[in-house]
Amino acid sequence: MSSIPLVIPNMDPSYFLFRGVCLPPKIKILLRVELTFTLVFHNAIMIFSLLIYIVNVTSSLHICLDDMASDNTGRRNATGSHVQNVAISKFEQFQIYFLKYKQLQIIAEIQNGILVYVYPVALLVAISLGSVLGYVLVVLNEDVPFSLVLQAGIVLVLLVGAAHKLIPLVANITGKSEDFLLFWGVQKSTSSLGRRKLKSLTNLRMKVGNFFAIKKSARTVFLWMLLDNIITLIMSV
């Protein structure tokens, strides 16, 4: 991206910023390259840091939920990493899992609070960016340099791929938490006190601000919105 001012001096947005600046052309080109590199570099750091954070948190939640659901008797098989007491009672197991789930619920609430504005902004930026990239690929592919078309295609593929992988990863947390609560809710060994404790638990949800929680259908909705905006932009511009 930062090499665009060198290859095509009047193609990127920095051309309009420096067009009226009274500096030698070579100095302006160097400043534009440095500005483009700095913006792209820092934006890439923020985007990848956010993706790594989301993957780490959601993967941790998945591992904990899978660990609690993989063996409802509280035992590991002979190839497991550790072996618990085989005589552990359902009551003791419920107490352990209840505390673990409560901790996961706190982690999910903290993440929703920290990212209360990040998810909505990221969703808006992703749809807007994807719409512009789709317009470049469909309408401007013969008017802009091939290097820019190639970059637009790569970024659009990465955007769709990230949505295809990350959205189900986040949405499946809710399904696994529902299975956990349902399992212990129908157990005859769960005492009346345990059932009251279950009522204090809620499904683990990753929320997009205060608007909605991410569900399994979110991937289809996102891709449909992206395609709809690309088609609308192509037809209206």
Are the C-beta atoms of residues 194 and 94 closer than 8 Å to each other?
yes
Which pLDDT score, from 0 to 100, does residue 189 have?
65
Q: Report the run of H or E that residue 80 belongs to, with start and end.
A: none
Whether 144 maps to a domain, the answer reads: yes
More confidently predicted of 11 and 124: 124
Q: What value does the mean pLDDT of the chain take?
A: 80
Token output for 176: 């696994």
Question: What is the residue range of 166's domain?
Answer: 4-69+90-236
Whether 140 maps to a domain, the answer reads: yes
Whether 13 maps to a domain, the answer reads: yes
Whether 82 maps to a domain, the answer reads: no
Report how far residue 214's alpha carbon sits from residue 171's, in angstroms, rounded to the nearest whole number: 6
Which pLDDT score, from 0 to 100, does residue 72 have?
52
Which pLDDT score, from 0 to 100, does residue 89 have?
67
Which pLDDT score, from 0 to 100, does residue 227 have?
92
Concatenate the DSSP letters of all residues of 37-56 into one string.
HHHHHHHHHHHHHHHHHHHH
Whether 81 maps to a domain, the answer reads: no
Whether 84 maps to a domain, the answer reads: no
Write down the residue that tokens 């990040």 correspond to: 118
CA angle 157, 160, 49 (to 5 degrees): 95
**pLDDT > 80? residue 9:** no
φ, ψ (nearest 5 deg) of residue 2: -70, -15
Q: b or e along 93-119 (b: 16 or more beta carbons within 10 Å of the residue's beta carbon)?
A: bbeebbeebeebbeebeebbeebeebb
Query: What confidence tens digit (pLDDT) does each residue in 46-101 have?
Result: 878 888 888 888 888 888 888 877 655 444 443 444 444 444 567 777 788 888 88
Whether 161 maps to a domain, the answer reads: yes
Binning pLDDT at 50, 70 and 90, where does residue 228 land? Answer: very high
More confidently predicted of 110 and 3: 110
Report how far residue 203's alpha carbon sits from residue 193's, in angstroms, rounded to the nearest whole number: 19
Which pLDDT score, from 0 to 100, does residue 12 have?
67
Percent of the chain residues past pLDDT 70, beyond the cut: 84
Q: Report the run of H or E that residue 207 belongs to, with start and end.
A: strand 207-208
Total structural domains in the chain?
1
Query: What confidence tens digit (pLDDT) does each residue in 144-160 have?
Result: 777 778 888 888 998 89
